Structure 1
Amino acid sequence: MKKIILLSSVVLSLGVFAGCSSQNIDSGKTTKSSSSQVSASSNAVSSSTSESSTSEPVYKVSLSDAIETYKETYPNTDIISISLDTSFGQTVYDIEGIDDNKEYSLKINTDTKEIKKEREENLDRDEKDGVKRRENKLDLTNLKDMKEIFDIALKEAGSGKIDDWEIKEDMGVTYWEVSIKDGMTKEIEYKINAQTGEIIETDID
C-alpha cells in the first residue's frame, strides 16, 4: 500500500512540474511576441515621422503642364517669370510672358488646370522691339525638376518648410528663388541655378 501511495506522489509531482514548464515556455513566447509588436510599432512611427519631415508642396498640375498651357494660350512669346500665387484661398501658377511689343500674364490653377485670369498690356517704348524680351526671357531648356530643386533647398536649410518660390532670370542665368520658413521668425531664401541645381546665393532673414 505504501508503494502505491509513493508512486502516486511521484506521478503527481511530475505533472505539476510539466505544467509549470509549459506555463514558462508560453510566457516566454508571449513576451517575445509582445517585444516584436512594440518593435514593429516603433518602426512604423519612425517611418511616418521620416516621411512627414520631408514633406513638400505637391501640385496635381505639374510645372511643365502649366508651361505648355501658357504656350498654347500665347504662342510665339517667351516666358519671363513663373511664381506661385496663393491669393483668395487658391493656389495658382502665375506665368508672365512677353513678345516684342506686349507683356502677358496667365494664372493657372495648380489642382484643376483651369485658367483663372488672363492679362496683356503694351510695353513701354524703351522695352519694345524685342529689347525687354531679349533681356528677361527664361531659359526653360534642361530644367531641374521642381522636387529636386526643393530637396536641394531643404537639405541646405536642414529644417523648415517651403513657403514660396519663383523662377526668374538675371544676367542670362535662369534660377529658382526658394523661400523656406523655419518657425515663426526665421526665413531663408535660396537662389538656385535652374539647370545645374547649384546654390548661387543665400539670404537669411
Structure 2
Amino acid sequence: MKKILFGMLIIVVLGLTACGKEEQLDVTNMSLSVEEALETFHSTYSNVKLSAIEVTEERSKLVYEIDGFDDTKEYTVQVSEENEVDHKKEEARENDEQYQELVLTDYITAEDALSRAAQVSETKDLIPTSWSLDTENGTVVYSINFEDAKKEVEVTLDAQTGEELFVELDD
C-alpha cells in the first residue's frame, strides 16, 4: 500500500512539475506576416493611423496586437495567426497623450530587428518570445524579448537605424 501511495505521489509531483514548464513560443516562427495582420487591422478600422505593433503570446498562441488612432479615438485589434480578429477595442483619445504615427517604410523590418537583436551576446541560446514596435520618449524603437526557463533579456533597437540602444537583463 505504501508503495502505491508513494508511486502516486511521484506521478503527481512530476505532473505538477511538467505543468510549470511551458514551452516558449518563438516569434520567428509566426506564420502570419506583419503586412497580413495590418491588412486585417485596417479592414477592421479603416482610415486609422498606426501607433504600435506587438507580437506576443496569448493563451499559448502567438498573436499580433495592433494599436492605432484617429482624431477622436484610439483602437486596438488582436489578430491571431489564423488572421482572425480575436479582440477589438476602441475608446476616446486621451487629451494629454501624444500620438505618433508609425510609417513602416521608415524603419527596419521586424525580421531585421529580430536578427540584429539575436546577435547581442546576452541573448545567446535564448528564444525570442515577443517583440514590439512603439514610440518611447519620442523615438520609435523595437523591443525584443528573449527568454528561457532561467533568464529574460530585452533588447531595444532604434527602429530607423537598427542601432542597439540598450539591453536589459532579468535573471
Q: Same fold (TM over 0.5)?
A: yes
1:94-140 Cα offsets, whole Å, 9 max, x none, are 11111111111111112x1111111111123x24xxx633xx33232
Q: Identify the residue that residue 145 of structure 2 maps to in structure 1.
A: 179
Judging by fraction of residues, say which structure has more strand.
Answer: 2
- Matched-pair contact (CA < 8 Å) for 2:156–2:165: yes
Aligned counterparts of 1:105 and 1:56: Cα–Cα separation in 2: 20
Matches within 5 A, 1:107-118: 107-110=78-81, 112-118=82-88
The alignment partner of 1:71 has SS state of helix
Aligned to 2:163: 198
Matched letter for residue 146 of structure 1:
A
1:162 aligns with 128
User: What is the SS of the residue equivalent to 1:60?
Assistant: coil
Structure 1 residue 68, shift from structure 2 partner? 2.5
Give 5+ residue unaligned stretches, structure 1.
1-54
Are residues 1:132 and 2:102 paired? no
1:137 and 1:169 in contact (8 A); partners too: no
Shift in alpha-carbon separation, 1:87–1:121, aligned structure 2, 3 A: same
Q: TM-score, normalised by structure 2?
A: 0.73
Relative to the length of structure 1, the TM-score reads 0.62
- Higher relative contact order (CA closer than 8 Å, sequence separation 6+): 2
Deviations 1:159-186 (A, max 9, x none): 31112211110243211100111x4222
Q: Distance in 1 between matches of 2:51 and 2:36?
A: 17
CA distance in 1, matches of 2:27, 2:39: 23
Q: What is residue 151 of structure 1 aligned with on the other side?
A: 115
Aligned-pair CA distance for 1:56? 5.8
> Which structure features the higher share of helix residues?
1
Contact preservation (8 Å) 1:139, 1:174: no
Q: Which amino acid aligns with 1:160?
A: L
Is residue 30 of structure 2 the alignment partner of residue 64 of structure 1?
no
| Alignment: residue pair count | 143
Secondary structure of residue in 2 paired with 1:141: helix
Greater gyration radius: 1
Q: Distance in 1 between matches of 2:167 and 2:60?
A: 29
Q: Are residue 141 (structure 1) and residue 126 (structure 2) matched?
A: no
Deviating above 3 A after TM superposition, structure 1's stretches of 4 or more consecutive aligned residues are none
Asked if the contact 1:109–1:116 (Cα under 8 Å) also holds between the matched residues in 2, the reply is yes
In structure 2, runs of 5+ residues without a counterpart are 1-25
